[in-house]
Amino acid sequence: MSTIVLSARGDVALVGELRRLLPSTPVAAIRDALASAEPLIERDLYGNDHDEAAAQLLGVVDVLQRFGASVVVEAIDGEERSVETVEYLRAIIERHVEIRRQREGRP
């Protein structure tokens, strides 16, 4: 299982948009994370809630990019940590969907 951590430095105008995507995160925590480029969200991929996690991660990325925030994607796999690109995140999520479709016999 891989864990994805998203961080960004951005304007406080993002708080309202991100609050809808991160309903369990307090407004102050979102504001502080944006001000200091601390993690906004940490989600495990490839678990039972993969689709929900992927949609939430991509939703947060889309909002951050739309507002011009600099996004940092960190992938954690066991003891290994790496900084990746948004394109990497999108690619691994898309690949997972492709593999699942193949296993289910769908095009």
E-assigned strand segments in the chain: 2-9, 39-45, 70-77, 80-84
Residue range 42-60: mean pLDDT, rounded? 90
Predicted local confidence at residue 107, as pLDDT: 65
pLDDT of residue 46: 79
Q: What is the pTM of this model?
A: 0.87
| Residue 1, pLDDT above cutoff 60 | no
Phi, psi of 17 (to 5 degrees): -65, -45
Three-state DSSP class for residue 106: coil
**Separation of alpha carbons 64 and 76, rounded Å:** 21
CA dihedral of residues 84, 56, 71, 68 (deg, nearest 10): 140
Residues 89-106 have pLDDT tens digits of 999 888 877 887 788 877
Backbone angles phi, psi at 7, to 5 degrees: -130, 155
Cα Rg of the chain (Å, integer) = 14
Tokens encoding 7: 């961080």
Contact status, residue 27 vs residue 62, Cβ threshold 8 Å: no
Instruction: Taking residues 3-12, report their average pLDDT.
Output: 92
| Per-chain mean pLDDT for the chain | 91
The whole-number average pLDDT for the span 8-26 is 93
Segment 5-14 mean pLDDT: 92
